[in-house]
Amino acid sequence: QARCFCGIRKQLPSCHADHRLQLPKPKNCDKKHYSNTIIYTFMLKQIVNGRILTPQGWISGGSVIYDDSRILEVRNNSYLVSEATEVIDAKGMTVAPGGVEIHIHGGGGRDFMEGTEDAFREAIKAHMMHGTTSIFPTLSSSTIPMIEAAAETCTKLMQEPDSPVLGLHLEGHYLNMRK
C-alpha cells in the first residue's frame, strides 16, 4: 500500500504534489481501461513538543509526522504541518516507536499454547496496551496437535489487514521428529 506526503518525496520518488502515484500495470491485467493513476487520501497526524527517541539519539522539542500506521518524518522542530488533520501536544513527554515483541508466550492471563483465537487476541491486546506494535507469538514444546492448532490460529490472525502478528516463534528442542 503506497503512501503519499509531498514533503517526503525521497520515500516515494514518483509522488506528485496532487498526491497521485503512477503504478505499473499488473502483468496479469488484460483490461484496456486500466488506469495506473491512483489517488491516495490519508489522515496525517503530527505529535509536537516531544522528547523523541531516534536511532541517532534524542531530539527535544521535535515532532513526529505519521499516518495510519507509519512514521513518515521526524523533525527537530515543532512547526505545524498544514496537511495534519490532528495535532497532539506531547508537552515535553517522551515519544518513542512501539516495540516489536519477538519472544512472548502470552499475556493478560492467556497463553498462546491454548491455541484459540480468543486466547491469542487477549494476549495480543494486553501487549498492545503497553507499547507493543508488532508481535511474534511464541509456542513452547508441546504435542503436535497443540502446536498445529496454535499455528493455525496464528496464520489466521496474520492474514487480517494491519495485523500486529508478523510471524510465529517455535521454541524447543523437541521439534526434530527423529529424536
Asked if residue 123 lies in contact with residue 108, where contact means CB atoms within 8 angstroms, the answer is yes
Which DSSP helix (H) or strand (E) runs through 70?
none
Q: Tell me the per-residue pLDDT of 51-104, one tens digit each, with 9 for 90 and over.
A: 999 888 999 988 998 887 678 889 888 888 877 888 999 999 999 888 899 999
What's the pLDDT at 175? 61
Longest dimension (CA), the chain: 63
What's the pLDDT at 12? 38
Q: Which residue has the higher pLDDT, 59 or 177?
A: 59
Report the chain's mean pLDDT, rounded to a whole number.
78
CA-to-CA distance for 136 and 85, rounded, in angstroms?
32
Q: Hey, which residues does 132 pair with through a beta bridge? A: 99
Q: Tell me the per-residue pLDDT of 86-97, one tens digit each, with 9 for 90 and over.
A: 899 999 999 988
DSSP track, 121-179: HHHHHHHHTTTEEEEEEEE-S--HHHHHHHHHHHHHHHTSTT-SB---EE--S---TT-
| Mean pLDDT along residues 103-122 | 96
